[in-house]
Structure 1
Amino acid sequence: MVVEEPQEPEIPVTILTGFLGAGKTTLLNRILKENHQFKIAIIENEFGTENIDNDLLVTEQKEQIVSMNNGCVCCTIRGDLSRVLTNLRLKRDRGEIDFDYVVLETSGVANPGPVAQTFFMDDAVAPFFRLDGIVTVVDAKYGAKTLDDEANARDQVGFADRILVSKCDLVTPAELEALESRLRSMNARAPIRRVDMGKCPVDVVLNISGFNMNDVLDVDPNFFVDDHHHHHHNDDIHTFVYDSEKPFDPMKLERYIMSLTSVYGPDMLRYKGILYFKDVDRRVVFQGVHMLAVSDVLGPWGDRKPFSKLVFIGRNLPEEAIRKGLDTCLA
């Protein structure tokens, strides 16, 4: 597996996605008004049905940037995301605006996958902007029905590094637990937090390090109890974990991951792992979005017994076939 030494881009970015009416705009307005240490540029997707409060952002046909009194700025997307980010960066370089963080709101019907890939694959974006994480907002009242009806809503859950559940007071404790159990079965990596959007702490959304290359694989402990690892409601998005104490053959695994992503890449939403390679005394981590996978080398195993652990979140992935394929890559 090819190991890259990534250079850390300067500007972190949070993708805020979620169900229509779940409270993303309430959360954005809180961020725009809150006294925090960041100077945030919020990019609002013009295709959403909700808008930032009119007194904060006036929606016009042309692109507009509005400065807030807490140091934040807000703009609407007109066209290509890469161009918008580049324009913001150039305005910052010229001293026309000042920001040190970007929050990108996608519309309630958007698939965040292509947006996430922009930060890895676009040469105009990747050197300057670092994807910090994807935060998905789920409406407790209508969440189950939305998951049943909307494929993109299921994708939004699958891509998430953190899931915020809103409007919890509108459902019974049993309904809320059933929804959270379903969300865990779809994405066991993402911590789930019940929130009031108008009072949500900013640090729940920002600087969550969802795309950091590290060896901490956060899989919800409840994933392994009460049969949470079985499908709920026949959801097409599902999590599974592969682990082994036997070392991988590096070349075999690289070829297999390449073939896996070439066939199933569009349905591989997020995958992340720590790898134990034969004759390598250091931990290797890798993660990917769709067809794009990157890897890095961490410190030595030390006193810890080496192991491999990979988490896959995807759409109708052939779990048993993938497990057998990974088995064939063991040394």
Structure 2
Amino acid sequence: MNQDARRPDPIPLTVLTGFLGAGKTTLLNRWLRDPALADTVVIVNEFGAVGLDHLLIEAVDEDMVLLGAGCLCCTVRGDLIATLEDLLRKRDNHRIAPFRRVVIETTGLADPAPILHALIYHPYLVLRYRLQGVVTVVDAVNGAATLDAHPEAVRQAAVADRIVLAKADLAGDTGPLRRRLRELNPSAPVDPPDVPAETLLGGFFGLDGKGEDVRAWLGAEAAEAPDGHRQDVNRHDVNRHDASIRAFSLTSDVPVPRAAFEMFLDLLRANHGPKLLRLKGLVALADAPDRPVVVHGVQHVVHAPVTLPAWPDDDRTSRLVLIVHDLDPAFVARLWDAFLGRPRIDGPDAAALTANPLAIPGG
């Protein structure tokens, strides 16, 4: 038996984030009452501040407690990687029962990018855990003011796979906030808190690659304009305070040469890594077009692509969804087209890019 055959399936992991007072604890408590989340590990930053006391049953050891739904809860002792590794050791040594899922609840002031970076970068953790998605809670009452005042809140919403709009019953018209969240992250559905936990926590990596789950996880269609073309990336809404963050998609109807794809990713992360808040996609490579690869990245780290055995549905279009900060999406689109050999280069840097695609101007 080879090593790959012995390796256990990766454990799906969800990041729950949101600004201070947004309603993360309330949502987490609702999740933990759901029988579907039995055999889940919850990782929190400060145990005493999370408010799970009514769900506690007994201590497992100095770092862990057993919750009423059959879930374990442990604290981050200053190092998320060490906590995740410790969980695996206890699981593998049968010191705790096997768990099926991990939920990480961040502090309200956390920029989620470093957390995602750790989850897709560490060479051992990426073999044992698989990032399933980011759920961000936004307070309907104070959400707009929070987005205005705190860049962490903007990033939390921008990198989300799903957004939960909490306290909508206490707010007035939530339309402007919903529109702003769609502008900030068009690929993330905006859900009410009572959506079933399995819906919020489900995603592409954990649900066998069904077509509808790929579309929900990727959200490429939502990052396109209604007419099917790229969004007008130069459009500016004077009522928005986060115009420096943009979401958009790149597509290709024909398989992409592997070398061109790898060079595109290398140049993007090497030259503009700090500005790349999130990248995810499904790509057909020319040397194996019937076995697409899943790509997932945060800032200057792009996780090694995972090859699927087959396409999840009949749509064979390669699509990448990117969320960037202070980086011109039109430039990234021109770079993509240049590596694909598509004659769509225009703008002030067109001549330089045409002559040398490696000459990336500053974003």
TM-score range, shorter chain: 0.7 to 0.9
Deviation of residue 81 (structure 1)?
Answer: 1.0
Normalising by structure 1, report the TM-score: 0.83
Deviation of residue 120 (structure 1)?
Answer: 2.3
- On the 8 A contact 1:184/1:228 being kept in 2, the answer is no
- On the 8 A contact 1:133/1:208 being kept in 2, the answer is yes
**Corresponding letter in the other structure for 2:181:** L
2:263 is equivalent to residue 255 of structure 1 = yes
**Which of 200, 207, 210 lines up with 1:205 in the alignment?**
200
Tell me the residue number matched to 1:104. Answer: 104
Bigger mean CA deviation after superposition, 161-170 or 84-93: 84-93
Q: Distance in 1 between matches of 2:220 and 2:62?
A: 41
Q: Distance in 1 between matches of 2:260 and 2:232?
A: 32
Determine helix, strand or coil for the equivalent of 1:269.
Answer: strand
Q: CA RMSD in A?
A: 3.4
Tell me the residue number matched to 1:237. Answer: 245
CA shift digits 1:171-214 (9 cap, x unpaired): 233xx12211111121122121122xxx4522133233368896
Q: Distance in 2 between matches of 1:68 and 1:8?
A: 25
Tell me the residue number matched to 1:326. Answer: 336
Deviation of residue 306 (structure 1)?
Answer: 5.5
Tell me the residue number matched to 1:144. Answer: 144
CA distance 1:90–1:321, change in 2 (3 Å): same
Tell me the residue number matched to 1:134. Answer: 134
Unaligned 5+ runs, structure 1: 1-6
CA shift digits 1:77-121 (9 cap, x unpaired): 212111112222222333332232211100011011221222222
CA distance 1:86–1:296, change in 2 (3 Å): closer
2:89 is equivalent to residue 94 of structure 1 = no
**Corresponding letter in the other structure for 1:207:** G
2:301 is equivalent to residue 292 of structure 1 = yes
Q: Distance in 1 between matches of 2:35 and 2:314?
A: 43
- Which of the pair has the greater relative contact order for Cα pairs under 8 Å at 6+ separation? 1
**Structure with higher helix content:** 2
Deviation of residue 274 (structure 1)?
Answer: 3.4
Unaligned 5+ runs, structure 2: 1-6, 342-363
CA distance 1:73–1:299, change in 2 (3 Å): closer
Deviation of residue 302 (structure 1)?
Answer: 12
CA shift digits 1:137-182 (9 cap, x unpaired): 1111111111111111111112111111111112233xx1221111
Deviation of residue 289 (structure 1)?
Answer: 1.9
Q: Distance in 2 between matches of 1:325 and 1:213?
A: 33
Deviation of residue 22 (structure 1)?
Answer: 1.2
Q: Distance in 2 between matches of 1:127 and 1:222?
A: 30
Q: Distance in 2 between matches of 1:96 and 1:302?
A: 37
Q: Distance in 1 between matches of 2:267 and 2:250?
A: 18
Deviation of residue 316 (structure 1)?
Answer: 1.7
Deviation of residue 23 (structure 1)?
Answer: 1.0
- On the 8 A contact 1:231/1:238 being kept in 2, the answer is no
**Corresponding letter in the other structure for 1:224:** A
Determine helix, strand or coil for the equivalent of 1:180.
Answer: helix
Q: Percent of counterpart pairs with the same letter?
A: 36
Deviation of residue 54 (structure 1)?
Answer: 3.3
- On the 8 A contact 1:133/1:161 being kept in 2, the answer is yes
Deviation of residue 223 (structure 1)?
Answer: 5.9
2:272 is equivalent to residue 264 of structure 1 = yes
- On the 8 A contact 1:275/1:308 being kept in 2, the answer is yes
Deviation of residue 44 (structure 1)?
Answer: 0.9
- On the 8 A contact 2:37/2:69 being kept in 1, the answer is no
**Corresponding letter in the other structure for 2:177:** L
Determine helix, strand or coil for the equivalent of 1:153.
Answer: helix
Tell me the residue number matched to 2:24. Answer: 24
Q: Distance in 2 between matches of 1:193 and 1:255?
A: 37
Determine helix, strand or coil for the equivalent of 1:190.
Answer: coil
- On the 8 A contact 2:11/2:129 being kept in 1, the answer is yes
2:324 is equivalent to residue 314 of structure 1 = yes
- On the 8 A contact 1:18/1:24 being kept in 2, the answer is yes
- On the 8 A contact 1:185/1:231 being kept in 2, the answer is no
Tell me the residue number matched to 1:3. Answer: none
- On the 8 A contact 1:184/1:220 being kept in 2, the answer is no
Tell me the residue number matched to 2:177. Answer: 179
Determine helix, strand or coil for the equivalent of 2:107.
Answer: coil
